[in-house]
Amino acid sequence: MSKPLDGVKGVDLTYYVAGPGTAKILADWGAEVVKIEPPGGEPGRTTGLNLGVPSGDEFNPYFGTYNSNKRDVILDLKAPEGQAVMDKLLARADVFVTSFRPGALKRLGLDYETLGARFPRLVWASINGFGEKGPDKDRPGFDTVAYWARSGAMLDLTEKDTAPLIPTLAFGDANTSGSLAGGIAAALYRREKTGKGTKVMVSLFAQALWNLASIVVSSQFGDVYPKSRVTPNVPMVNSYQTKEGKWLFVTVFDDRLYPVFLEKVVGSKELAGDPRYNEPVAARAHSRELTAIVAAEFARNTQEEMIRRLVEADIAHERVNHVLDILKDPQAVENHYILEVPQKDGRTTLMAQPPVKMDTTETDFRYGTPAPGEHTRQVLEELGYSAEEIRRMAEARAVQLYEG
């Protein structure tokens, strides 16, 4: 089946997760993406080791999560021959995605000003930690620092009076990669109308602030963070523990459902008619006492009993799961949000997939997880290099060939 970016050619000069994730999304949408790695491979190939995930050439599921469906070429961009190959790739490319810092791009002649002048139809897309302006524009910025720590999320999304949140690696990266992929798609659409490429930028810091947009507004009007679940903004938007120690999260935003929740879920007609609790402003003013009442009722009953009441009252709710709980969740599996993906050594790994689906939920793994330089020879041949030229470049270490 045809995909929306069929025919689009992309060059991916990124590392770790946010940039590679962007190019992976483009590849899943049909783009032909060539990933450029330095000799020895990009540092993201071994990130999985920090989490106990194997990271070899034949089995590297962490790296594959963000790099499958790409062809992989190893170039030494400091060597004239490597620069010439890059030049040929960019001459035929529609999109260039990079997560290199501005200074490095300038030194390599890969900054927007240089490439935009040479290739006016090229969509030049950059992802970094803090943005292209301001005092910190050249700082390194993983999502742990630029997304979580700088934005306030690491402190304000925790339970009050506890330690800062321990962020999972690449959470902010994945959010940001989706934004940049959408920006690239918009730039390609504009190019179809105008014939001109453009510069598309996103930063981890900007993404975090957008994700926290509701707090950015509310904190200016007395909404103080971090909070405690015993005194939430809204007692009906909170987590509650059931008799056997399991947790449920409930969400009631519709004013009309306040008395329904109190009568049908908490089991009290008296509370449902009490003006201190049955509408949002009053419930917020009496948050601590109402939360204690609701918590006591949940604690007296099993999770299944409380789910039964919530379903009957048509109240939005969900079990509070661990990640391991959802690996075989039928909702995730049937929508291909989680897929069993084959690896080069014959093993399979359950892997999360980018969320946007077009026409079908199917994901076509054209290239799987690429080994370092797996497609160097193939891509060089497509660019017109002879076998002898490829051999000489490999001997000079301007390129690296895969012999697996």
Where residue 184 falls (left for φ over 0; alpha for ψ -120 to 50; beta otherwise) is: alpha
Give the SS3 label for residue 26. Answer: helix
Identity of the residue numbered 56: G
| Residue 54 to residue 38: CA distance in whole angstroms | 21
- Of 320, 37, 63, nearest to 169 by C-alpha is 63
Q: How far, CA to CA in Å, does 369 sit from each of 49, 66, 105, 345, 353?
A: 16, 9, 26, 11, 13
72 carries an active-site annotation: no
Give the SS3 label for residue 339. Answer: strand
Q: Which residue of the set 57, 76, 111, 173 is catalytic?
A: 173
Q: How far, CA to CA in Å, does 341 sit from each of 49, 69, 73, 338, 347?
A: 19, 12, 22, 9, 8
| Alpha carbon 45 to its chain's center | 17
Whether 73 and 11 have beta carbons less than 8 Å apart is answered as no
Q: How far, CA to CA in Å, does 289 sit from each of 236, 278, 301?
A: 12, 13, 19
- Of 193, 130, 135, 142, nearest to 15 by C-alpha is 142
| Residue 90 to residue 67: CA distance in whole angstroms | 20
- Catalytic residue numbers read 173
